[in-house]
Amino acid sequence: LNSTLPRRVVVTGAASGIGRAVAEGALASGGRVLAIDLHPDAAWDAPGLVQRAADVSDEARITEVFSQAPALLGGAPDAVVHCAGVYRWKALAETSAEEWDLSMRVNGRGSFLVSREASRIIDEGAIVLLSSVAYGRGDETEPGSAYAASKGAIVSLAQQLAAELGGRGIRVNAVAPGMIDTPMLTLGNTPRAVEALTAHLPARRLGTVDDVAAACLFLASGSAAYITGTTVHVDGGYLAS
Ligand code: NAD
């Protein structure tokens, strides 16, 4: 098996949650990481880690930081894992046009800009984009049309880019996490509500950031050499049940 883990990785949204777990996983296996976030973690330091502040929806800044990436990483990145995103749940009637634009700007435009700039600097490797199970199932109790639609755009983007970039040796996939144990989810729900949420899940528990990071790093690795244009659900069976 070709289990080559990526050696030079760009991770966005790396200061928190899933992005942080991806960056730490790549560093732990001896890789070098360029960690990009709107708010980098000033207290975070590790051998092989470089951090840069950037808004993924800011074209000029993302172009600038990605053009510096090969020099910062000591060579062309072999993987870009794009985790930065905003998560908003609101009923349709309460969703303002500004909130719709925010989801589309950060999640949609951000994924487009990061993918475009990644494709300019990766010689051969992988792009992993973060979608969400929200793309694949409506939810009456926790409605979020702007978020769901922005995450659906990422599934389509990964399919299209896989076709467009495959000839250049670049694979593109999406990961769709389900209910992951982050402050975002646990702060808004009591332990009893969390138990109710997971009672009917095949996995019977929330996912961890490491569950999601493992899938991202697998897709970024040589082990996934024949996987492109797909969306991997890391959801404990949510979409299947
Ligand atoms: P998180 O809030 O813990 O981390 C997101 C990071 O992205 C933060 O550090 C934040 O500063 C950064 N960020 C936000 N906007 C940015 C911007 N414009 N430019 C640069 N950085 C920006 O979130 P998470 O739970 O780790 O989620 C990571 C990804 O996974 C997101 O795309 C999210 O939509 C997706 N996701 C998460 C869950 C979940 O249950 N946590 C479920 C499905 C999908």
Mean pLDDT, the chain, integer:
95
Pocket test for ligand 1, best of 24, 34, 81, 83 (most atoms within 8 A of CB): 83
State which ligand 1 atom lies nearest to the alpha carbon of 20. Answer: 26
Distance in angstroms (rounded) separating the CA atoms of residues 232 and 185? 21
Which is higher by pLDDT, 33 or 190? Answer: 33
Residue nearest to atom 34 of ligand 1 (CA): 85
Pairwise CA distance, residues 232 & 152, whole Å: 13
Closest residue by Cα to atom 3, ligand 1, is 17
Beta pairing partners, 37 = 53
DSSP of 168-195: GTEEEEEEEE-SB-SHHHHTTS-HHHHH
- Angle between the 110-121 and 59-73 helix axes, to the nearest 10 degrees? 40
> Which atom of ligand 1 is least distant from the CA of 131?
44
Instruction: Give residue 208's identity as a one-letter amino acid code.
Output: T
Centre of ligand 1 to C-alpha 39, Å, is 12
Residue 21 domain flag: yes
Q: Which domain holds residue 66?
A: 8-181+209-232
Which numbered atom of ligand 1 lies nearest the CA of 182? 41
Is the ipTM beyond the 0.85 threshold? yes
Q: Residue 216: inside a domain, yes or no?
A: yes
- Nearest residue CA, atom 29 of ligand 1? 83
DSSP letter, residue 221: S
107-130: per-residue pLDDT in tens?
A: 999 999 999 999 999 999 999 999
Residue 1 has pLDDT above 90, yes or no: no
> Considering the domain boundaries, does residue 238 fall inside one?
no
Confidence of residue 3 (pLDDT cuts 50, 70, 90): low
Atom of ligand 1 nearest to the CA of 56: 19
Q: Does the residue 171 lie in any domain?
A: yes
Question: Is residue 240 included in any domain, yes or no?
Answer: no
- Atom 19 of ligand 1, residue of closest alpha carbon: 55
pTM metric for this prediction:
0.97
CA dist., res. 112 & res. 118, Å (int): 10
For ligand 1, which residues put their CB under 6 angstroms from it? 12-13, 15-19, 37-39, 55-57, 83-87, 106, 110, 130, 132, 177, 179-180, 182, 184-185
Q: What are phi and psi of 34, to 5 degrees?
A: -100, 110
**Number of domains composing the chain:** 1
206 Cβ neighbours under 8 A, 6+ residues apart: 179, 180, 181, 185, 194, 197, 198, 236
Q: Is the pLDDT of residue 171 over 80?
A: yes
Residue in the block written with tokens 């990961």? 175
Q: Which two tokens stand for residue 103?
A: 């989801």
The mean pLDDT of 85-89, rounded to a whole number, is: 89
User: Can you list the positions of beta strands (E) in 138-193?
Assistant: 170-177
DSSP 241: -
So which residues are the catalytic ones? 147
CATH number reported for the structural domain that contains residue 174 in this entry: 3.40.50.720
What's the pLDDT at 188? 67
Which has the closest alpha carbon to 22: 177, 212, 190?
212
127-154 pLDDT, tens digit each: 999 999 999 999 888 889 999 999 999 9
And the tokens for 197? 């949420």
Longest dimension (CA), the chain: 51
- For residue 94, being part of any structural domain is answered with yes
Statement: residue 189 has pLDDT above 80: no
Contact 92, 145 (CB under 8 A): yes
Nearest CA among 27, 19, 36, 177 for reference residue 83: 19
Q: Is residue 193 part of a domain?
A: no
